[in-house]
Amino acid sequence: MWIITDDHRPDALACYNEAVYDKKESPLGFVSSPNIDRLADEGVLFTNAYCNAPVCGPSRGSMISGRYPFRTGHFAFDLTHQNPDFVRPSFPQVLQKTGYQTAQFGKTGEYIYKWGPGQGFHNAEHYEYIVHFKHSLQKNNVGDLWGHNPYEIINDKVVYQGTQENVKRPDGRIEKYYVHKRSGEISTEDIKKKKEIEKEFEILRSYTRSNPNLIIGGENPMPANQTIDAKIVDEFQLYLNNQDAEFTTSWGKKEKGANSTKPQLINLAFHLPHTPVLPPKKYRDIFKKIKYTVPNFDKEEYEKLPPQLKKMHDDMNMTNMTDKEIQQAIQDYYAFCAHGDELIGEAITTFKEYCKKNNQEYVIVFTVGDHGWHLGEQGIEAKFSPWQQSTNGAIIIASSDKTKVPQGKVKKQLIEYVDIAPTILSASGIDVSNEKYEYLDGMSLSNLFFTEKEQKAYTLGETKVVVGPRAYLRSNDFAFSMRSRPMNEPVLNKNVRWGLECSLEDAELALYDLRTDPLERNNVAYDPAYKELAIWFRNKLGNIVLGDGRVECDWSKANTYSLSNFAEGSDDKVLNIPQKIIPSFSN
């Protein structure tokens, strides 16, 4: 079973905090995660896991493909497909061919489809059985609803009408109102209804420049066992508890349960704690009593940012919120995570019981967040950035066979989300060292179970969401990022060396010395003492992401792309930084 949560900070787990900070509380304050903590006690907890894109679509694409965004041409919410000849199968597709039955419950979001001229984008069949939180559940009024984008057919064209919120109550009633319209004014009735709902459920909106209607706090109108994530778990349980038999889904469709004669690959993909952040009352009442520490942020920190990251801050700025609003945002976020912990515990119990009933071994891989989430760090509440709170996650691996996956271990080596695919393939018995799998950018995490040695000196990532293309590299001592491509969205690797050849100012460098600045508050890229080191990192990262297998693809066509290999082999997982350019410091 592979579990993924969405926008989930690793410090929402007490086990992570104990491993990293020597206390159960996060740096902000109280968290609750007894079920996940128990899973960590049963296996191996990796605390230094980093995503390869701080955005849902490309991050999930990197996990399921085992490849970096710059090698798949998947940098944002691109609708990608598997026609181009540089594409390789996803790891669930590989497992299907070895006899696995595959199923997915919840949020998919890999953005890797089947495609054909005149056919558009459709299911790529990474999984044979899918229950999607929107298309299967919310579409059929199962679970809580909220965001909805109505469309109308006008002159045979589908036209977006705006954003509508749908509030479902426990008795089944649904109240609807517009919060944004494509044209015309929102009606007075809708404005009134919105205010009533906001007051009743204490709705807190971000009011950020990029998304002023984003809900970052409030009470879920539905009880804990009726949220959308609870219903995702219900469907997962129906599938396993009705093995080899027909059952009826929560929306009335006849389906068949798991085939007990086949090994299972099950992806349980939660939507929480993604916005709208609406924990049920059961958990919200606990957390609203907690006073949290708000991360520091100041003008001096902001002034040292390059323009691209200043825009990131400006678009996601939460410093203008009141103290009460900031407290609510943090309280409700951690409360939502605690709700997720309860559901994860239920799902793990069901999975273990299924395996015991069928005398089958199991492996559970839990990816804590497809990326992270800021709660005031860098002055924002968001993701999308190269900073640690956007990119850091955790991975927990547990197994029924303790000789293969040891129990109660904490590993602090650098790992990446591209490591998930080879890890799961390896657990299934596939030899990922075979040349057939050379395309995988990651490694099997089983290589680290019984050693403390680092297997890679840095992690990588790139995205182009919100503020344009930006790549990042992180080692244990330094965090570096740069604009990888010019703002005017070049395609098919045109002028691909731009990031290496433009001025230092245009490259918009950011460098943090984690030895003295672990919270990444002091960009030293343009500090004279660090200038040579910043240039060194620019060349290292630029050669990797721009010249070591970079792909840029025209996804509207079957097989049109450009491959850049002017610096092939640059991604050697080694940092041989000349000692003379590393500034010294005193402990």
Q: Write the pLDDT tens digit of every residue in 364-406.
A: 999 999 999 999 999 999 999 999 999 999 999 999 999 999 9
Virtual CA dihedral for 484, 490, 494, 499, nearest 10 degrees?
-20
Are 164 and 267 members of one domain? no
Q: Which domain holds residue 467?
A: 459-581
Quickly tell me which residue has 């594409």 as its tokens: 87
Any idea what the CATH number is for the domain that residue 252 is in? 3.40.720.10
Query: Are 130 and 170 found together in one domain?
Result: no
Tell me which of 421, 448, 475 is where a domain ends.
448
User: Is residue 550 situated within a structural domain?
Assistant: yes
The C-alpha R_g of the chain, in whole angstroms, comes to 23
Q: Token digits for 243? A: 């093995």
User: What are the percentages of helix, strand and coil residues in the chain, rounded to 5?
Assistant: 30, 20, 45
Q: What is the pLDDT of residue 490?
A: 63
Q: Are residues 182 and 76 in the same domain?
A: no
Same structural domain, 228 and 215: no
Closest-CA residue to 215 (of 275, 271, 167): 275
pLDDT at 359: 97
Specify the pLDDT at position 232: 98
Q: Are residues 69 and 131 in the same domain?
A: yes
Q: Same domain for 212 and 257?
A: no
E-only strand ranges, 109-185: 112-116, 120-122, 129-132, 146-148, 151-154, 157-160, 162-168, 174-181
299 by Cβ neighbours in 10 Å (0-12 / 13-18 / 19+) ranks as exposed
Q: Is residue 453 part of a domain?
A: no
Q: Is residue 587 part of a domain?
A: no
Dihedral Cα 533, 537, 540, 546, nearest 10 deg: -140
Q: Are residues 359 and 424 in the same domain?
A: yes
Spatial CA neighbour of 42 closest among 394, 426, 364? 364
368 and 508 fall within a common domain: no
| Domain-terminating residue out of 168, 201, 219 | 219
Give the integer Cα–Cα distance in Å for 137 and 104.
Answer: 13
Mean pLDDT by 10 residues, the chain (587 residues): 98 98 98 98 98 97 98 95 97 98 95 91 93 94 85 69 91 92 89 97 86 92 98 98 98 98 98 97 97 96 97 92 96 98 98 98 98 97 96 98 96 98 98 97 97 96 94 98 85 94 97 98 98 98 98 96 98 97 83
- Helices 34-42/323-357 angle, 10° precision: 50
Residue 586 domain flag: no
Query: Which of these three, 219, 249, 277, is where a domain ends?
Result: 219
Same domain for 21 and 72?
Answer: yes
Could you tell me if 385 and 423 lie in one domain? yes
Residue 537, in any domain of the structure: yes
Domain membership flag for residue 454: no
- Domain identity same for 484 and 560: yes
| Total of domains in the chain | 3
Q: Residue 68: inside a domain, yes or no?
A: yes
Q: Are residues 55 and 135 in the same domain?
A: yes
Q: How many CA atoms lie within 13 A of 149 on its CB side?
A: 5
**pLDDT number for residue 23:** 98
Q: Select from 452, 399, 402 the least CA-distant residue to 427.
A: 399
